[in-house]
Amino acid sequence: MTNLIFEKSRNGRRGVIPPRGTAGEPIALPKEALRKSLHLPELGEVDVVRHFTELASRNYNVDKGFYPLGSCTMKYNPKINEDAANQEGFLRLHPLQEEDETQGAMRLMYTLSTMLSEITGFPAFTLQPAAGAHGELTGLLIIKAALKDKNETRRNRILIPDSAHGTNPASAAALGFEIVEIPSDGRGNISLDLLAAEADDRTAALMLTNPSTLGLFEENILQVTKIIHDAGGYVYGDGANLNAIVGITRPADLGFDVLHINLHKTFATPHGSGGPGSGPVGVTKDLEPYLPAPILVKKGGRIRLDYNREKSIGRVRSYFGNFGVMVRAYAYMRSLGGRGLKRMSEQAVLSANYMRVKLKDYPPAIDRTCMHEVVLTGKPLADETGVHTLDVAKSLLDYGVHAPTIYFPLIVPEALMIEPTETENKDTLDAYAELLLKIRQEAKTNPEKIKTAPHNTPVRRLNETQAARNPVLRWTPKKNGG
Ligand SMILES: *Cc1c(COP(=O)(O)O)cnc(C)c1O
């Protein structure tokens, strides 16, 4: 397949044409690339349909049950968002159509940017980045360009707290920055003393997640951003999860200069398995000139694409980003409205704190009021019974529910990170908490059962490393022709 090209033939139909050389002559594929024999499964349609229906029914998803994967925000995705994104007028657009033919879509993107500005306090946004990590890369590129403009290229260090999501140091390293890890203190805040000791004229930026991946609000946030600004650096905000603060506080008011938001988390669009995301980046007025081009501007009642941006870092993605995700996020925000979005945050925080109190025996890693998620530690249980967090997570699968995020953040031993989101009712939360307490009890009376879980799933414990390194992706017929 690799060398075949889909091309329009003379009669206008699309078809597969064989590979051709520069002069248009057909070229033969190398012998070693050719199949020696071809085995295709021979099955009736009904067998194929039943096979895939059966596989689909084994798949766990948020429409099937509770999915409290901390930091991933697996909230329910309302079906009205799908209706909005599946409208003919959106589905049939081509990215190369004229601006005048696509005003509806452009207006939606423009309004979405405005709503994000209102929520975060940043005057300007780009919608191009296709995921949170992509937003980080974009935001850091903007900071890098601004530093270069100010002749401050010696600022090549990015400070990152030890509780950060792994994408933060990865994005900084990808751009050649040096990474300095800043420890957290006993209350889960970034250590002010250690931060002040590291912030100097080599600091390009601090990358901070607030609420942090410990599910906690940074109590000294104004001091933190001031320390960095006084040292001449920028503050980058990882806003992947804004679920706790929408309508309550605005990152720009807290001193952040750049922020990415994961529309696919906070604003309820389906994600997972590397599926489509959207990681818009908002910036202060000072950083606006560096945003990726083109940007959307309003001129004479029309929305236009402005490419004339001298200081722009350039494009970070083909065309305009993941438009379908933007439509879903827009529909979500529109259907909840301003007050509804605030209630979303309040409910998400209430649900997480409800779980924190119900599960106080686990116990929480840091016992103070949490934001949209709660991080527990299975360390006392492991010390007492030898049953580890991995075993608890596997045991949950036997009851047909999804495990929380485990072993993250890295600074919490035996971490279990539960993000219930605002879309779950009390019965669901109660049932899940009781199940976790039941497994904890069983770990004491019958630890072997938990250590060998899961017992009822289609496959038991897998060698996950081997499955990732040596995946078996190819169908091979059985020798007996079965
Ligand atoms: C999910 C997440 C990211 C990365 O987002 P992707 O869309 O998966 O690239 C970054 N930071 C935090 C805190 C996250 O939860």
C-beta 262 within 6 A of ligand 1: yes
Whole-model pTM? 0.89
- Determine which residue's CA is closest to atom 5 belonging to ligand 1: 132
The CA distance from 243 to 336, in Å, is 14
The pLDDT-based confidence of 481 (bands split at 50, 70, 90) is very low
The 10s digit of each residue's pLDDT in 134-144 is: 999 999 999 99
Q: Give me ligand 1 centre to Cα 383, in Å.
A: 31
φ, ψ for residue 355 (rounded to 5)? -65, -40
One-letter identity of residue 354: Y
Q: What is the CA radius of gyration of the chain?
A: 25
Q: Say which residue, 257 or 34, is predicted with more confidence.
A: 257
Average pLDDT estimate for 445-450: 97
C-beta 165 within 6 A of ligand 1: yes
C-beta 163 within 6 A of ligand 1: no
Whether the per-residue pLDDT at 3 is higher than 60: the answer is: no
- Taking alpha carbons only, the member of 236, 250, 224, 210 closest to residue 136 is 236
- Determine which residue's CA is closest to atom 3 belonging to ligand 1: 132
Q: Give me ligand 1 centre to Cα 264, in Å.
A: 10
Q: What is the pLDDT of residue 1?
A: 37
Whether the per-residue pLDDT at 264 is higher than 50: the answer is: yes
The 10s digit of each residue's pLDDT in 62-79 is: 999 999 999 999 999 999
The CA distance from 151 to 143, in Å, is 12
- Taking alpha carbons only, the member of 121, 124, 211, 118 closest to residue 164 is 211
Q: Which helix (H) or strand (E) holds 481?
A: none
The beta-carbon contacts of 250-253 under 8 Å, at least 24 apart in sequence, are: 250/119, 250/120, 250/121, 251/120, 251/121, 251/122, 251/210, 251/282, 252/120, 252/121, 252/122, 252/282, 252/284, 253/121
- By percentage, how much of the chain surpasses pLDDT 70? 94
φ, ψ for residue 329 (rounded to 5)? -65, -40
The 10s digit of each residue's pLDDT in 153-200 is: 999 999 999 999 999 999 999 999 999 999 999 999 999 999 999 999
Task: Name the average pLDDT for the chain.
Answer: 92
C-beta 71 within 6 A of ligand 1: yes
φ, ψ for residue 194 (rounded to 5)? -70, -35
Distance of CA 134 to CAs 123, 170, 266, Å? 20, 11, 16
Average pLDDT estimate for 79-107: 95
Answer whether 169's CB lies under 8 Å from 208's CB: no
CB atoms within 10 A of CB 408: 18
Environment class of 165 (CB within 10 Å of its CB; exposed 0-12, middle 13-18, buried 19+):
buried
C-beta 206 within 6 A of ligand 1: no
The beta-carbon contacts of 345-350 under 8 Å, at least 24 apart in sequence, are: 345/243, 345/244, 345/245, 345/246, 345/247, 345/248, 345/372, 345/422, 346/248, 346/422, 347/422, 348/243, 348/244, 348/372, 348/420, 348/421, 348/422, 349/244
Q: What is the pLDDT of residue 272?
A: 76
Q: Give me ligand 1 centre to Cα 335, in Å.
A: 25
**First vs last C-alpha separation in the chain:** 27
Q: Give me ligand 1 centre to Cα 226, in Å.
A: 25
Whether the per-residue pLDDT at 274 is higher than 90: the answer is: no
Structure tokens at 253: 């008011």
Comparing 54-58, 291-295, 327-331, the range with the smallest average pLDDT is: 54-58
The pLDDT-based confidence of 58 (bands split at 50, 70, 90) is confident
Q: Give me ligand 1 centre to Cα 129, in Å.
A: 12
Phi/psi class of residue 296: alpha, beta or left (left: φ > 0; alpha: ψ in -120 to 50)? beta
Place of tokens 């423009």: 110
Whether the per-residue pLDDT at 482 is higher than 50: the answer is: no
Answer whether 373's CB lies under 8 Å from 419's CB: yes
Average pLDDT estimate for 27-54: 88
Ligand 1 atom showing the smallest separation from residue 271 Cα: 7
Answer whether 252's CB lies under 8 Å from 122's CB: yes
Ligand 1 atom showing the smallest separation from residue 133 Cα: 9
Q: Give me ligand 1 centre to Cα 75, in Å.
A: 15
- Determine which residue's CA is closest to atom 15 belonging to ligand 1: 71
Structure tokens at 370: 């949490």
Q: Give me ligand 1 centre to Cα 401, in Å.
A: 23
- Determine which residue's CA is closest to atom 8 belonging to ligand 1: 132
C-beta 209 within 6 A of ligand 1: yes
Spatial neighbors of 396 by CB under 8 A, at least 6 apart, are 402, 403, 435, 436, 439
C-beta 277 within 6 A of ligand 1: yes
Structure tokens at 285: 């007025």
Structural domains of the chain, ranges and CATH numbers in brackets: 82-334 (3.40.640.10), 337-468 (3.90.1150.10)
Place of tokens 């307490």: 437
For a substitution probing ligand 1, which of 137, 140, 167, 265 has the most ligand atoms within 8 Å of its CB?
167
C-beta 240 within 6 A of ligand 1: yes
